[in-house]
Structure 1
Amino acid sequence: MFSHATVAVENFDRAVGFYGKLLPEIGLMRSFYDPENSMASFRKPDQPRPLFFVTLPFEGEALPGNGPMIAFLCDDRPMVDAVHAKALELGGTDEGEPGERPDYHPHFYGCYVRDTEGNKICFVCHDPV
């Protein structure tokens, strides 16, 4: 469905460090890295897309919003728990501990964090226990 998603950051090195240590927890690896132009991407090793980009914005400052969010699919509930703990260890902030959210649908299990730049991200598993 998606080709790529992008988060704009103010501190490229800090953000790439955060995501570079966090995203392998869910099977994503850095696939592109251009520090001269402050751009990096991550993806599953066996798939060319979708890509997740981290970059300095092309137009002005990075302004994380209240509402925009990227959700990463996790294989199972323990993966959601693990990536939440890793995000906090790496300097992310908690925006919603791992747990069921039956208001979304009966099997929704996810967590919410803000990255080191203030972008809201979700990690979710949609499978039943």
Structure 2
Amino acid sequence: MFSHIFVSVKDFDRALNFYSAVMLVLGNEQRFCERERPWAGWHSPGRSRPYFVICKPYDGQAHHPGNGQMVAFLAKDRQTVVAAYEAAMRHGGTSEGGPGLRPEYHEKYYGAYFRDTEGNKVCVATHGEL
């Protein structure tokens, strides 16, 4: 469905540190990192698309996190959701709801919500059993 998703940041190095830690836990591979541009992207193992990118806004204007917008990453299991959330907290994220079941979505939905170092809302979720 998706080719790629871009999330803008103002402090690239801080965001790179944050997302590198979260992507490592999720098992995603770094596709590229060009500090001079600056932008970096990750994709699922063995796949080139879709991919996730952090960058400064293309138009050169200030970054503003969107209200009501969120990027959700798929985790292989509940332990990975917990580990990704903990990595996010250790690397400057802020909690928007710790790991846990969210039966209002469906009976096996297990997710965690947080803001990245720029205020963008992020989710890590799994939809299966333990």
Q: TM-score normalised by the shorter chain: which range applies?
A: over 0.9
Q: Which residue of 2 aligns with 1:5?
A: 5
1:61 aligns with 2:53: no
Post-superposition Cα deviations, 1:60-83, rounded to whole Å, max 9, x if no partner, equal 111002210000000000110111
Contact kept, 8 Å, 1:16 with 1:40, in 2: the verdict is yes
Amino acid at match of 1:7: V
Which aligned runs of 4 or more in structure 1 are off by greater than 2 angstroms? none
Post-superposition Cα deviations, 1:87-111, rounded to whole Å, max 9, x if no partner, equal 1011100000101111111111000
Normalised TM-score (structure 1): 0.96
Amino acid at match of 1:16: L
Count of aligned pairs between the two proteins: 129
**Counterparts of 1:25 and 1:45 in 2: how far apart (Å)?**
12
Q: Which residue of 2 aligns with 1:89?
A: 90
Amino acid at match of 2:7: V
**Counterparts of 2:93 and 2:76 in 1: how far apart (Å)?**
21
**Counterparts of 1:95 and 1:2 in 2: how far apart (Å)?**
25
Q: Which residue of 2 aligns with 1:109?
A: 110
Q: How much is the aligned-residue C-alpha RMSD, in angstroms?
A: 0.9
Contact kept, 8 Å, 1:98 with 1:112, in 2: the verdict is yes
**Counterparts of 2:44 and 2:72 in 1: how far apart (Å)?**
15
1:124 aligns with 2:122: no
